[in-house]
Structure 1
Amino acid sequence: MEQHSRLRRHMSEQIGIIGGGIVGVALARELSASGAEVTVLEKEARLSEHQTGHNSGVVHAGLYYAPGSLKATLCAKGRVQIREFCEEKGLPYREVGKLVVAVDESELGALAEIERRSRENGVPNLARIDEVAKLREIEPHVAGVAAVHSPHTAVVDYASITDAMGQDVRAAGGRVLLHTEVTAMRMENGRVRVITTAGEYLFDRVIAAAGLQSDVVAKMVGADPSPKILPFRGEYWELRHDRTDLVSGMIYPVPDPRFPFLGVHFTRGVYDNVHVGPNAVPALAREGYRWLRMSPKDTWDSLTWPGAWPLAKQHWRMGVDEISGSLIKPLYFRKAQRFVPDLRLSDLDVKSGAGVRAQAWGKDGALLDDFAVDQVGPVTILRNAPSPAATSSIAIAQYVIEHYLTVPAS
């Protein structure tokens, strides 16, 4: 009731949403439910073309995030909301469970920190496992000395969820415009004129959930150039169909706390395929899903950003390791085999695609860890919305509305 009361404040407004990923469409759905006149502007031919449609489909339970952070708070809320949405729409939602595994004693300290964060974040039914036999009851082929188990970590089809949200937007009278790339914005008497490849639109407010292009959109309205988006490609291999029994649910490594990526892991998807990955290699284009997809401008912009040298100085060894694994299959395989010794090189059947993560980084080279939002007059910009943004999408939408749209637009 309180949420709908907040939403009713926007019933007379015309609101433009830039970006047709799950966060943008979740925003449009929340606002259109209030009676606001909402228009989603998406440059591609379909919704969820980029990050939403190129991830592992995991509904995160909140194991990793700093207690009290936006990630932790919104992930806990969003997980329940995504489950309820899938139940309402008859979409698949499978709690396959996740093991975060310490392969040797050197990782026990970091595993204990994951356990501490998980418990502070209220991860449901979390269990610490210190006996190999019990590990094998959950994942018969896993290797390790200890783990934390999150039985309610789930998998879904985020592209289908986004499509269903888009149907709700249309049913409430909103518009979802595809093939509509935003090229410029300008303020006009407290409103925002948005120029696109398909025409011009005048809105009372604009919310940009543009992912890989979020800093480009921010520049259009004179926002701080920092943080900038550094695209990281994550590549997946898929297990051969006759070897998917090696993995029952999800097997994750203990992540390196210095880096905002989780490392190569195993995930049984919502349709029972099992993929291995992703790695994290710098992409040579914002939408560089393959090594051959290059953008000299995007690459030059990254190399000349003030944060480039500090980042390279701190993480060059990891960068070399990730790039080597991308180019040399046996190196990638060995990372995965640490957790599943029965894995064979031939089990990595095909590269099943890749995603590009829109990772925000500052001028000092620091990679932003938490969600980040900017406000420039009547324009609200999501500057950093990496994983678990899909899990948290409905909660992010409600957070943005409550904290950024409850004040006058001008």
Structure 2
Amino acid sequence: MRDVIVVGGGIVGLATAYEILRRRPGADLLVVEKEAEVAQHQTGHNSGVIHAGVYYAPGSLKARFCTEGAARTREFCREHSIPFSDTGKLVVATSPIEVTRLEALTERARANGLAVTPLSGADLREREPHVTGLAALHVHATGITDYVSVCRSLASAVSASGGEVRTSTAVTRLDELAGKVTVTVSQNGWETAESARLVIVCAGLQADRLAAMSGLNHGADAFRIVPFRGEYFRLPASRNDLIDTLIYPVPDPDLPFLGVHLTRMIDGGITVGPNAVLGLSREGYRKGSVSLRDLADLTRFPGTWRVAQNHWRTGLSEQHSSLSRRTYLELIRRYCPELTVDDLLPEPAGIRAQAVLRDGTLVHDFLIRRTDRTVHVCNAPSPAATSAFPIAAHVADLAGVAA
């Protein structure tokens, strides 16, 4: 019987395995990942941003973990020669209501202990000549990296510490007994069973289904992962000098999405996105992808309908931007008016695993649930990549793995 099985080869799962082996050298630890390689879903389909923690409610897990996580991420990148860059970020207000929201965001950032500098419209234009707005907030501590490279280095470190990372291995069943958890896995069409004293599940887009296997997703506390497809574009190489910092709009405080932004990537290019369109397939990255199973889960869950009822205007707007590049472009031209539709080149989409409760609440914070011998990370969208190391430490604490 193994000491620990970690389900999920994204950045949170691998960071958790890494943390456990750091605390308990020599532990018999197995990481199982259903894809052929690590970091194939949320971790490998994001903007690569090292977030500073400006948006998150003071005292929340996101606020607590993001700042620490950013420092730990940079430290890990230095140790493993993974490129990163401290670009900074400008949050740009383009309307009077956004100016008011920006003032509230400034106070929240300072409550979270962040160094930020308010800018006037003239200051903004002087700093970023191609960007326009009524006001802006300079967030100094934002950066960028390559989270797929971080995951590959984490997997190598886990293996070097005596752990095993097994890909192409899907979990089909969890059975918790008094002294162990039996994990049934499928590999190459064959089912086998592994047992462990402790199981930690970091399943991202499949988090609700794995939680249900442990009896943690029923009744009044039930949640569903609702996939939101984030569509990106990339600017042509001739535009790579358009911005020096990352450029973000002011987000709607009622939604957990940050809006369509311009992001300098670690490869030197600039991406545009993402929007947030309701997905009909949790892992269908191609436009128009539909999974009958995922669609059935969406339609049967009352929370989905309540989200639609509460946010239908936003949903229609996001769908419109998905169907029309010109409409999408207008989201960017609010703060970067010189871009044209010809500047929007294809870029792979991402899918955000967003937990939604039965009453239609979009879960803003990280959500972690547990049984006696399992810990489930149920909601870990952005900034989970930035926060992966402190999330891992928190999960290890909950699991009783002493530091």
TM-score by length of 2: 0.95
- 1:262 aligns to what SS in structure 2? coil
Deviation at 1:13, TM superposition (A): 6.4
Q: Of residues 2, 11, 19 in structure 2, which corresponds to 1:30?
A: 19
Match of 1:155 in 2: 144
Match of 2:385 in 1: 390
Matches within 5 A, 1:88-167: 88-123=79-114, 125-130=115-120, 132-167=121-156
Deviation at 1:404, TM superposition (A): 3.3
How far apart in 1 are the matches of 2:177 and 2:310?
A: 44
How far apart in 2 are the matches of 1:203 and 1:273?
A: 44
Kindly provide the CA deviation profile for residues 208-261 of structure 1, in whole angstroms up to 9, marking residues without a partner as x. Answer: 000000011011111123221001010100001112222222110000011110
Match of 2:295 in 1: 299
Kindly provide the CA deviation profile for residues 2-55 of structure 1, in whole angstroms up to 9, marking residues without a partner as x. Answer: xxxxxxxxxx96100000000000000011222222100000000000000000
- 2:385 aligns to what SS in structure 1? coil
Counterpart amino acid of residue 161 in structure 1: V
Structure 2 portions without partners, runs of 5+: none
How far apart in 2 are the matches of 1:48 and 1:389?
A: 13
How far apart in 1 are the matches of 2:351 and 2:139?
A: 26
Counterpart amino acid of residue 43 in structure 1: K
- 2:258 aligns to what SS in structure 1? coil
Match of 1:218 in 2: 211
Deviation at 1:74, TM superposition (A): 0.4
How far apart in 1 are the matches of 2:400 and 2:128?
A: 46
Note if contact 1:283-1:289 (Cα within 8 Å) is conserved in structure 2.
no
TM-score by length of 1: 0.94
Match of 2:310 in 1: 314
Note if contact 2:374-2:399 (Cα within 8 Å) is conserved in structure 1.
no
Counterpart amino acid of residue 242 in structure 1: S
Match of 1:399 in 2: 394
How far apart in 2 are the matches of 1:273 and 1:250?
A: 12
Match of 1:4 in 2: none
- 2:386 aligns to what SS in structure 1? coil
2:232 counterpart of 1:236: yes
- 1:307 aligns to what SS in structure 2? helix
Match of 1:56 in 2: 47
Counterpart amino acid of residue 41 in structure 1: V
Matches within 5 A, 1:11-26: 14-26=3-15
Note if contact 1:235-1:351 (Cα within 8 Å) is conserved in structure 2.
no
Counterpart amino acid of residue 89 in structure 1: H
Count of residues in correspondence between the two structures: 393
- 2:257 aligns to what SS in structure 1? coil
Q: Structure 1 vs Structure 2: percent identity of aligned residues?
A: 44
Kindly provide the CA deviation profile for residues 362-385 of structure 1, in whole angstroms up to 9, marking residues without a partner as x. Answer: 000010000111112201101111
Match of 2:193 in 1: 200
2:277 counterpart of 1:281: yes
How far apart in 1 are the matches of 2:266 and 2:326?
A: 27
Deviation at 1:160, TM superposition (A): 0.1
2:320 counterpart of 1:324: yes
Match of 1:357 in 2: 352
Match of 2:171 in 1: 182
How far apart in 1 are the matches of 2:122 and 2:176?
A: 64
Q: Deviating runs (4+, > 4 A) in structure 1?
A: none
How far apart in 2 are the matches of 1:104 and 1:363?
A: 34
- 1:45 aligns to what SS in structure 2? coil
How far apart in 2 are the matches of 1:310 and 1:152?
A: 37
Note if contact 1:93-1:270 (Cα within 8 Å) is conserved in structure 2.
yes
How far apart in 2 are the matches of 1:213 and 1:344?
A: 38
Deviation at 1:93, TM superposition (A): 1.1
Deviation at 1:400, TM superposition (A): 1.1
Structure 1 portions without partners, runs of 5+: 1-11
- 1:293 aligns to what SS in structure 2? coil
